Each structure stands twice: as C-alpha cells, then as structure tokens.
Structure 1
Amino acid sequence: MAELLIELFSEEIPARMQARAADDLKRLVTEALKAANLSFDAAQAYATPRRLALVIGGLPTQQPDVTEEKKGPKYGAPAQAIQGFMKANGIKSLDKEAELRETDKGPFYFVVRKVAGRATAEVLPETLSKIFAELPWPKSMRWAGDSQRWVRPLHGIVAVFDGKPLKGSLAMGEGRAVVFGNSTQGHRFLAPDAFEVSGFADYKQKLAAAKVILEPAERRRMIAEQAAALAKSAGVTVKDDQGLLDEVTGLVEWPQVLMGRIGETFMDLPGEVLSTSMRSHQKYFSTERAEGGLADRFLFVANMEAPEGSARAKTIVAGNERVLRARLADARFFWDQDREKPLSARVPALKDIVFHAKLGTVADKVSRLETLAAEISKYVPGADRDEARSAARLAKADLTTGMVGEFPELQGIMGRYYALNDGEAPAVADAIAQHYQPLGPNDACPSAPVSVCVALADKIDTLAGFWMIDEKPTGSKDPYALRRAALGVIRLIVENKLRLPLTKVFAAAQSEYTGLSAPDISGSLLDFFGERLKVVLRDQGVRHDLITAVMATGAEDDLLRLLARVEALRSFLETDDGSNLLVAYRRAANIVRIEEKKDKRAYDGGVAAAALQQPEEKTLFSHLGDASKGAQIALSSEDFTAAMAAIAQLRQPVDAFFDHVTVNAEASELRENRLQLLSAIGATLAEVADFSKIEG
C-alpha cells in the first residue's frame, strides 16, 4: 500500500475560504479514487494561508483487474443489429468471441472481457489535473494571460505518490502549465527556500522546520494559549471571540501573539466602538478588566518570529499601536460629530434609505413600528405605551450616523449611546440597542418590557410586509431571514411568557401597510409560525405531530397556551387511558372512512338518541356529551389537564362499544346511526386536538 501527498501552493487564500476548500479537495479526490476503483484507508486535508494539503494513505499501487460485460442483440436479431454490435465491440465472430445466454426475455448475446488494472501512478495525474482545475471557490480570478481560474495565483503543485512525484501538470492557458513535483516552500519571510519532500511525515516535519504549522487546530491552540498567557501577565483577560480566533488562524502560518496598549485619550470611547474598530479593521483581540469593561491592552497575531520583549517585537508592537491610533482617531471623529445632532433630528433622513422596493423606506417602517409597538405594549406586562412608541420612532435613527456608516454591526448599540446622550429614558435607549435581538439561537433575548415591544414590532412588521408581497421563504432560500425573524418572535414570546394573540397582532401589522392591498395573511403566517415552533420544540425533544394536532383545531394563536396544550396532550398520551383511547379513535376513524367511501357520503351529522338500542351505545353517547361539555369548560378556563381528563372518561365506554355493538347492522337506519356515533368520537376529541394528526 502507498501514500498520496498533494499540496496546492499559492498566494494567500482568504481565511474564510480555507476550511471549505480543504474539505472540497478531500471530497473530490476521494470520490475520484472510488470511481477509479482505488480503495484507501484514510484521508486528511489541511489548510494554511498559502497552501491546501491532502494526504491519503493505504492506496494500492495498481487498480484491480475487472470484468466488463456488455449485452448485445437477441438471438435471431436482424443482421444489421448484429453487425453494429460486433463493430462497436471489435468482434469478428459472435460464436467465438461472444456467449449466448438465456434471460427472462429469451437468449441474448453477451461480450465478456477481462480488463487489466492500470498502475495507480498512471491513473492519478489526469484525475488530479481535472480536480485541481474544477476546485470550487466562492470567488476566483485569472491573472496574466492564463485562462484557468483559481482563487489566487497558483505557484506550485506537490503530487507525490509512493515517494515519487507524479508525472502530470495543470494547464493554465497560453502554453503555461504548473507541473507536478515534490518541491515546496516554507514561510514567506522566515524560510523562503524550496525543499523536496518524499511523503507526508517528511513534508510535515520539513514544513515545521521552515516555520509553517500545517494543522489549523494547532495554530488555533497556539494563538489561544499565547494570548491567554500575555493577557494574564498584564492582569487582564482576553475578550471571548471565537470567530476572530478562527479568522486569524487562517491568516498566519507561524503565529506569534504580541500585546499593545490603547492610547489613554481613546479610553473614553464606548467599549463597543473600541473593540469593533480593532476587530473589523485590524483583527485585534480586545481585553477586559477583572472588574468589567474594556482594558487598555490589545492583542494581535504576527506571522513572524518575534519573542515578547525582543527588538523585533517592540518594533512590530509600535507599528501596530501607531496604526490603531489612526483608526481610533477616525472613530473619535464620528463619535463627536454624531452627538452634535439628536437622534430625533435624524429620523426624517430615514426617508432616503430604502427598506424594500415594494415596502417603502425605513422612515415608512419606523412609522409602522410606532403604532405596532404601542399596540403590542397592551400585552407586555410593565410596558409603557409612550416609551414603546418613542423607542420605535428612534430605533433606526442611528443608521444615518457616521459611526454606523463605518461600522454597520454597531447599529442599535450606537443608537443607545446617542439616546442616553440626548436625555432619553434608559428603557427607551435600551430598547433601541436590543430591538434587533435575538439574532440567533445563541443570542441574548430581550426581557425589558419596552425592549420586548419594539423587538416584536420590528420582526412582525417585517414578516407581515413580506407576506403581503408574497416574498416568503422557499426551500433553502430565505434572503430576508424571515425564518430567523419568526424564531426571534417565538423566543420573545416564550421566554418572556407573553400572552400575545398573534392573529390580532398580525392583522394590526397588516393594517399599517396602507399602500398595499393583499388578502388576510394571518392564517398563512400562523401556519409558518407553527412550522418554526416545531423546529424549536424538536430540539427540546417535543414531538412535532402533537403541535400539529393541537394547531389543527384552528383556534390557537397564543403560543404559551399552545405549548401548555401540547404538554397536556403529551402527558395524556403517555397514560394507559390516553394510548388506548388513541387506538380506539383510530379504529373508529378507519371504520367511518371505509364506510363513507363505500356509501359515497359523509357521516358527520347528529346522532339520533332515540335510535340507540344497546346499553353500550347509549352509554357511549351519554359520555360523549359529558366529555365534550367537560372539555369545553376546562378549555375556557385554560385547565388543559382537566380537558384531557374529561376525554379520558371515554376510554371504557368506547372499549365496551366495540366489544358488544355491531356497527354494520342489517338495518340501514341503525347502521347509519352507529356510524354517526363513531364519527362523533373524533368530533369530541377534536375539542382538545385533532387525533388524526398524531403519529405512532
């Protein structure tokens, strides 16, 4: 068995593309090997800023021999068909070079050949060349006179099989090609000389000696450990930022973490401004003080050997501090300039920002939010209607500020600072900062009453608008993040235990779009929420079919009440009464369905009490009435456990009915009345849930 080593050596690959490219390279090569009938033991891909590498172990040195079989014409077929088959397969005599074999459709000619496997070293070059040319990238480029596209200029290809370089190349166009070889380079500055490799172990060892850490996980660990140690030495901690850690891991091949200091004159800027400026522009890590708040130290990763305290390190740190001062001076300018005008004075400028071509401007959205937030405040305990309206009016105003123009990720956050500077109530300022939340399952969910009102209004207004113009999510496509908006609404309601009548709120949101004409969206939007709720509860182990069964009653738009009903139904079905009643319901429903199909009519009318004959059917009828009445009373008081208990009383009467009563009686009137009685079982159970939707 042999080993295949591949390295694609290029100019710096964007950090965000490296992991996906390494996975794609591994996938394409392993799929091609399987297609070529070449087995292997293991495959592992790696990425650094300047290289993609792949090692595959346990490859055979030759393909196995295979037998090819081709079916020809039927015995006695026209001469033209036989001649065509012989010519296509290079046969001169059917009798000698083909065999006649009996099949289900009669005797047919078959040609069977043994094909000797090729040497793996002969198969690989053409296979790899095609894969390298077709490697997918989110963005690619051409350079010089080349016609071949790649993410960045490609300088070399290592392709070593069984210790020897493969004979192949990747055509780049204009007569130029990158030839396969066994030579690569180390760190761009610390070890730029070329060296040859004979296999993966040799490759990895020589790369390390040439100041390149091949494994991303190892580089990531080194950065995290160095940063933590430096921060500890300065009495601070590294602000957690896993995304930035992943990004800088893809920017360096030989990580060296260094620490710099933020100028004292900038420390009065909001912490979010400091950390965002450092992160977005410079890829610096922020640090925090033990008592909380941003510290005046920052950490950065140099792609250079520069021990802490060395002359080189001091030079690098000084250069980064100088660059940061310029960045923060820009931030200081925006901070000072933005506060010269109150947020309220910025609201009219929102008319110049388009929210959506069919849904108007951001100013239009803000106008709708004011009314909708005030309406929602009626259902949020502790919410002040006027504060909700004020927060909604100012929520988007910071979009016109210089700071948010420079750092879009600070929208809402800067609005809070500017609102406090203007003397707005803290609840209003906090609502401005939090109204975009939650942005995902791991994001914080607002709990302050005014914040909840505005956050709900923002998301529900967006959902209503896009539903009205029929721009709903389809399949995996959701360009306006409407699924995320719905999940945000669900979290806001559930985590804050709000009794929010969604149908009424959806109607209020739709009425605010005065320039649009559309059918009522409440039903469709509620169905959409039901599907999103299933996703949320599935992750919590709740059965989706129970949600469907409760929602199918058509009278539930209060998510808290819906969840309580689902929980009561789940508990009921786990009891003997519940599981047996479900079985009995299905038996009754199947009988009714079969007879309705046979009779071509529906048995959904009333039961004639006077026509009931046997004690068991009379008892069942009486219990159906009691169960229906009991369930309705319990539901009206939202005692869902009691509602389940009411229908649980049906179990014994239903069992007794099936044990002693013949449904398909000879007398047609008696038969019809008993079918009506069976149908009434489902109608009674439907008071609490549609049992036909329950699986299992």
Structure 2
Amino acid sequence: MTTQNLLVELFVEELPPKALKKLGEAFATQLGDQLRAQGLTTADSVVTAYASPRRLAAHVTHVWLKAADKAVQQKLMPVTVGLNADGLATPALIKKLQALGADVSDPVATVAALRKAPDGKAEALFYDSLVSGATLDTGLQKALEEAIAKLPIPKVMSYQLETDCELPGWSSVHFVRPAHGLVALHGSTVVPVKVLGLKAGNSTQGHRFEARVSPVVLAHADDYAATLVQDGAVIASFAERRAEIVRQLAAAAAQVGQGAQAIEDEALLDEVTGLVERPNVLVCEFEAQFLDVPQECLILTMKANQKYFPLLDAQGKLSNKFLVVSNISPADASAVIGGNERVVRPRLADAKFFFDQDRKKSLESRVAGLDKVVYHNKLGTQGERVARVSAIAKVIGLQLSGEVKRELAPQSWIIEKDGALTQAADTAARLAKTDLLTDMVGEFPELQGIMGGYYARHDGLSDDVALAIEDHYKPRFAGDELPRNPVGVVVALADKLETLVGMFGIGNVPTGDKDPFALRRHALGVIRMLVEKDLPLELSWLLHNVGDPFGSLISPDRSKLVDELQSFIYDRLAGSLREQGYSAQEVDAVVSQGPQRLGDVPKRLAAVRAFTALPEAAALAAANKRISNILKKALDVDPHVSELLLKEPAEIALYAAMQDVTPKAKAQFDAGDYTASLQTLAALRAPVDAFFDGVMVNAEELDLRLNRLGLLKSLHDAMNRVADLSRLAS
C-alpha cells in the first residue's frame, strides 16, 4: 500500500484579518499532529498551511489510507487476583477481559491466551492483542474535529443550519465565521468526512469577482494552490500573498521615485494580507495642504482607519502619496484610485481640524482639567498624579544636579548646578499629561506624548521641555529608544517610578501572565534608563523618595514596599541580562548582591566574565562557597582579626597576603575598575588553599575560633564586593 498526499480546505465567510495568520497555522498544525498521532502519516510527512480571507486549508504529504496495525501489551492484574486456586479465571479477570473486547467463551482458552510475567515482587497477567490501525475516513474525521475545536478563535459566532435528516429542522453551529464548503482529497479521491454540517467534496470557490470559473474543481490534492491561482484568482498561501504584497509595494514606491518607500509596519502587512485574496497595489495621493498636520497623525489615520501604506521620501518625511492594496485588478484602476482618495480625504480633514482646534488652547491652560480625569479610584485623579510625578522629577533633578559633568552612554550628559535641569523637568512633568485632554489624542490615543511635544513647541516652550513631553512614555516597548535628552530621562523615570510605587503600594502586583498596568514593562524602562544612561542614582534611595508624595494613599510599611519593588526590579533585571546572552551564573553572581547603582551592572558582569577566564577562578569560587557556608553556620561574625592570635603558618601567610592584596583591590573597586579588582584578588588563591589545607577553623579554643572566623569574614567581604563569587562554583 502506498501513500497519497492529502488536502483539506474549509471554505468560510471572511475571517478576521488580524487573526488569519494564526488561525491558518493552528488549523494545519493541529490537523497534522492529529493524523500523526493516529499513525496515518510517515516520518517524512510535511504539512503546508494555507490561509486566505475565505479559507483555511492544509496540505499533508505521505498520508496512509489505513494506519498500520499495532501490537498492544496490557497489564491486567496480579496472578493471585486474576486466577483462582484451580488456575481458572476469576470473575474480576473475566470482567476486565470483556471490557477489552476479548473472547471469554472458553475459560481454559482464555487463560491460556494470557501471558505471565514478573511485575516487581509479584507476578502479573498480561493481555497481548493486535489493534487494527485507524482508517483515513475515521482518522481524518477525528483530526478535523480536534483541529476545529482547538482553533484560537478570537470570538465565536453562532448560526443555524438546516438539518439533512428526514425530520425537517435547524441545528446550531458555533464557529469563527459561517462555513460553506469542505474539501477533503486523498490524492484524487474524496474522503467522506463531515464537519460543521458540511460534507466533503472536491470543489471550492475562488475570488468573489475575478474567478475564472465557479465552482473551482480540484482534480488532485497536489493541484490545490495552482488551480486556485489559475481558475479562482486566489493566492491561497498566506506567506506567498504577503511576499507578493511586499514586492508590489516596493515596485510601486520605485515607480513614484525620489527615494520614496512605503512605511514599514509588520502588523499592518499581516492584516492587509488577511484582507485580500489576490493583491493589487495602486498609487494614490491626497492634497499637499494636509502635510501641515504632524505626519504622525496622518500616518496613523491612514494605517489604522484605512489600512493604507503611507509613502515616505528619502529623508523619512511623509509625502502626499500613499499605496492601497486592492483586492481587485480592473483594466482601468482609475475608479478604484479615485474612490480611495475620496475616502481618505475626510479622515485627513478631521486630523487637520483636531490639530487646528487643539492649538487654540495652551497646554498650561489644560492643567486644571486633569483634576477632573480619574487616574485610579485609590490613587486619585490625573491632576494628583501629575503633582506626584512633578515632585519625584524635582527630587531626581536635584540629585543629578549634584554632579557637574558626567559622561553617559550614548551621549554626553551635562548637569548644571544652576537648577536648569530641575526647572525644565518640573515644567515638562506638569504638562506631560495635558495632551490627554486634546481632541487629537482623544481620537488617537496612540499619539499621547507625541502631540504634547508639538503643542509645547507651538506654545513657545523650549526644545528640552517639548522633547521631554514627547519622550516621557519611552521606552514604550522592548527595543524602543530612550528619551533623547536629560530632561526627558528625568520625567520618564519619575513617571514610571510613580506608576510602580503607586500600584505596588495599593497591592496591584503582577501575578502570572496578568499585568494589566504593564508594571513589568515600566520596571524594564527604569532599568534601561539607569543602566544605559549610567545615572548616579541608587535604587533604594529612588524608591524611598518616590513614596513620599503619595502620603497615606499607599501602604504605610515603606520598608516592605521598597523591598518588594527592589526584588521585582532585580527579577526583571536578571531576566533582561540573560536575554542579552549572559549566563545564569554570571547574572546570579552580580544581581544577588543587590547592586544599588544599576549603571555599574554591565561593568560588574564584564569583570566577572574576565575573572572566570583566570586559572585561579574555579578554586577561588569553590573556596568562597566553602567560606559562605562556614559563616552561615556561625551566624554573626565580627570581621576583626588579632595578629596575636594567628598561630598556624598558613593563617599568618593568608593574613599577610590579605594585608597586601585587599587594599589594592578595594582602591580599584572604589575607582570603578571592577575587572582589575577581581584580578588582583586572584593572587589570594594559593594562601587560601593553604589555609584550608593546614588550619582548623572550628578550633576548640573560643578566641582562636572567633579570630579565624573573623579572618574568613574579612576575606569574604573583600572577595565579594563586585559579585558573589560563590555563585560561580559548579
């Protein structure tokens, strides 16, 4: 018996475009997995997914008409339970065999057919049988039902189908969209399966308007994609249709010239791919006067409302041309182009109206209105929140103003002592949320912050303040850029810290996958700014000071709150570092120390990585682990050492080496040269090894024991300034 390729298609009404890719992949994957589980496919079988606006399909290679029979060995029960004293089957055994479908008409033959084998300390009865493999008819029926049941459907629809039985009536069907056709072909043979009230056949429907024939008849499973293109004017493959759209977008942009290129948006591309069956990209344009509106507004309205691809010029500025992905390809496309141009015009006019109206009121005049906007029922209004953010920004600005100049990657950061930073940060923080009250942000919430920056410039505010207002939500997502100037960093840091402290302070802590206030993202934003900008701010100091403006609104146990938030931030930091390629041991060694200046973390990790490459590293890490265990058992140990109580040559030698090495290592640590500090400490390997070989730490004499513990405590403190080296021990 040879295999044939299988094609299954479910023809439905228009599927949700944003979910189409996931639906297509899930349908094909589940179908293939179910067939494989039943032994109907081979190890070489390949599953290909198809998904267009009106169909989900899967092509599976090397599918058997019938799965191979399987030998099944089943343990029944202990011999003492299954057989009586005469060796005949007990009622319990007969009942068990009947449940398995075995022939029990002849009791003697029944027992003779069983096998006895050791099972632990006892002997058990086993029943060996040959189970017939599943047929494709039954196997595909089961696979289809499972695949449909497990589809990640965003929202289920219910509709009625007329029953095909003798008694007339209607039955309810629940699916993502009403289904109208089912194809199931094994080679060129129809597999008689039924699902969603539909019987399988060998024909489907093509493009609504441009199909060459209707219905489209499929002669063979392998002809599916080619027949749909030729007779149905449909590109069934989601990936191929997407690639064709990308190709046409690039070609159309090149046709426009002047370095034009379509805006890149993967989500929009996926959604448009889910809207068309055979794409046809057309160039349209709108009146140049609309370009006076901020391009973010125009781009958003074209993408979100119309699913258009705006065109940018070589400098990245929006042009007055855009690209439409049409689902039809008429000989004369002028009517389609004109229709899309007419549709977009009112949208752009609305954006221009909102922009013009919003500029009639200054941001400052909108501040009072924030008192009428509820932020959280336990944390007050947006006005109260803005007051807290402003207070936090002022504290951070004053702290940073203590340093005259500091180089911060990736830019030079200049901190003035005249209070300019603090004043600008206070202004930006006070105005940052006022654009929430504008018409433009009311229509397009995605533009919050961005529009505030435009309106701040219109109000005559400095670029520092305008950029800070625009950037204070950054980073909005993983990989997003950080605020572009010091004022923006201060305000963004204050905004995110206010959210974290406020939500933790009222008990809104993320649990599992649930994080409705995006606190994990806020924590990562705080981490990135502290690390990448190398800010001279200590984490516990920040968290303690952020809590003050809340007063009695949050938990009065501030120490517990700070500990919880620090732990939360360190967890996010550790996860982020592991994603960057650091090993779990390296990250654990550094983060477990709870470094307060997060900007030091990359330097500490680099120092640890350099240390682990030294030949002394493994021995020192193991010794450090041993010292940690000794000190844990001894509890509170005074690091004081008396030279008069040093008796053994090895402890005298270790103390002398420490007197030479640890001051140098500490000076290097204080200077921020963590790599040199750890490398200096590597010289202690030999005296440390000799100490453990020749000295009894837990001496009977109390003064000797305490002195040796103090020596180890001093050594432990010196070795673990940069990182907990015991975490590097294997």
TM > 0.5 fold call: yes
* CA deviations over 1:501-521 (Å, ceiling 9, x no partner): 222221121111123242222
Does residue 160 of structure 1 match 2:164? no
Determine the structure 1 residue equivalent to 2:374.
354
Pick the aligned partner of 1:296 from 309, 320, 325: 320
- Contact kept? 1:70, 1:112, Cα under 8 Å: yes
Is 2:137 the counterpart of 1:121? yes
Aligned twin of 2:243: 221
Q: Which of 408, 415, 423 is 2:460 aligned to?
A: 423
- Cα shift at 1:190: 0.7
1:462: how far off?
A: 0.9
Give the 3 Å change call, closer, same or farther, for CA 377–674 of structure 1 in structure 2: closer
- Contact 2:621-2:726 within 8 A present in 1 as well: no
The CA deviation string for residues 2-51 of structure 1, in whole angstroms up to 9 with x for no partner, is 11111111111112111111221123212222331223311111211111
Question: Matches of 2:529 and 2:587 in 1, distance apart?
Answer: 19
- In the TM superposition, 1:420-499 aligns within 5 A as 420-499=457-536
**Structure 2: gaps (5+ residues):** 85-89, 161-169, 402-413
In 2, are the aligned partners of 1:526 and 1:557 still within 8 Å (CA)? no
Instruction: Name which of 543, 555, 559 aligns with 2:598.
Output: 559
Change beyond 3 A, Cα 1:503–1:134: closer
Q: Deviations over 1:413-437 (max 9, x none)?
A: 1111111122222211111111111
Following superposition, the deviation at residue 389 of structure 1 comes to: 0.8
Letter aligned with residue 7 of structure 1? E
Change (3 A) 1:101 1:549: same
Residues 614 and 118 (structure 1), Cα distance of their counterparts in 2 relative to 1, 3 Å cut: closer
Report the Cα offset of residue 558 of structure 1: 0.8
1:48 touches 1:252 (CA, 8 Å); kept in 2? Answer: yes
SS at match of 1:198: coil
Going from structure 1 to structure 2, the CA distance change for 1:662 and 1:393 (only over 3 Å counts) comes to closer
| Alignment correspondent of 2:411 | none
Shift of 1:591: 6.7
Distance 1:688 1:602 in 2: 22
Query: Which residue identity does 1:215 align to in structure 2?
Result: S
Q: CA deviation at 1:94?
A: 4.5
CA distance in 1 between partners of 2:348 and 2:699 (Å): 89
1:516-573 per-position Cα deviation (integer Å, ceiling 9, x unaligned)? 242222232222222222233223332343343334344x311112332332233223
2:241 paired with 1:212? no
Count of paired positions:
680
State the SS of the aligned residue for 1:512. Answer: helix
Amino acid aligned to 1:109: L
The normalised TM-score by structure 2 is 0.87
Q: Is structure 2 residue 200 aligned with structure 1 residue 180?
A: yes
Decide whether the 8 Å contact of 1:467 with 1:525 is kept in 2. Answer: yes
| Shift in Å, 1:686 | 3.0
2:687 paired with 1:647 = no
Partner of 2:174, secondary structure, is: coil
Letter in 2 for 1:494: V
Work out which of the residue numbers 329, 337, 346 in structure 2 matches 1:305: 329
Hey, what's the Cα distance between the residues in 1 that align with 2:496 and 2:702?
A: 57
- Provide the aligned C-alpha RMSD in A: 2.6
> Structure 2 vs 1, CA of residues 607 and 494 (structure 1 numbering), >3 Å: closer, same or farther?
closer
Match of 1:143 among 143, 159, 166: 159
Instruction: Label 1:626 to 1:354 Cα distance change in 2 as closer, same or farther (>3 A).
Output: farther
Q: Which residue among 6, 9, 12 is the counterpart of 1:10?
A: 12
Instruction: Give the Cα–Cα distance (whole angstroms) in 1 for the partners of residues 535 and 430 of structure 2.
Output: 23
The match for 2:432 among 395, 408, 423 is: 395
1:578 aligned to 609, 613, 617, which one?
Answer: 617
**Paired-residue identity, %:** 39
Compute the displacement of 1:581 (Å).
Answer: 1.8
Q: Which of 31, 49, 58 pairs up with 1:45?
A: 49
Residue 620 of structure 1 and its aligned partner are, at CA, apart by 1.3
The answer (yes or no) to whether the contact 2:185–2:221 under 8 Å persists in 1 is: no
Q: What displacement does 1:391 show?
A: 0.8
SS in 2 for 1:61: coil
CA contact (8 A) 1:156 1:178 kept: yes
Q: Is 2:347 the counterpart of 1:327?
A: yes
> How far does the alpha carbon of each residue in 1:425-472 deviate from its partner, in whole angstroms, 9 at most, with x for none?
221111111111111233222121111111111111111111112222
Superposed CA deviations along residues 588-629 of structure 1, whole A, max 9, x for unmatched, are: 556777xx5xxxx65845556444322111111333455554
1:184-210: CA deviation from partner (whole Å, max 9, x where unpaired): 011011116112213333111110012
Q: Distance in 2 between matches of 1:6 and 1:146?
A: 24
Match of 1:385 in 2: 422
Instruction: Classify 1:355/1:517 alpha carbon distance in 2 versus 1 (closer, same or farther; 3 Å).
Output: closer
CA distance in 2, matches of 1:100, 1:271: 80
8 Å contact kept, 2:10–2:182:
yes
- 1:85-108 CA-to-partner distances (Å, cap 9, x unmatched) read 344344234431232413133333
- Which residue number corresponds to residue 109 of structure 2? 96
Rounded to whole Å, the distance in 1 between the matches of 2:579 and 2:99 is 58
Q: Is residue 624–residue 650 contact of structure 1 (8 Å, CA) maintained in 2?
A: yes
How has the CA–CA distance of structure 1 residues 575 and 257 changed in structure 2, closer, same or farther, with 3 Å as cutoff? same
Q: Deviations over 1:100-153 (max 9, x none)?
A: 413133333322222222432343224323432443302121124653221111
Q: 1:527 aligns with which of 567, 574, 596?
A: 567
**Corresponding residue to 2:224 among 180, 203, 207:** 203
Write the distance in 2 (CA, Å) between the matches of 1:468 and 1:602: 33
Q: Which amino acid aligns with 2:529?
A: L
Structure 1 residue 642: Cα displacement: 4.5
- Secondary structure of residue in 2 paired with 1:136: coil
The aligned amino acid for 1:163 is S
Do the aligned residues in 2 keep the contact of 1:7 with 1:51 (CA within 8 Å)? yes
SS in 1 for 2:553: coil
SS state at 1:473 partner: coil
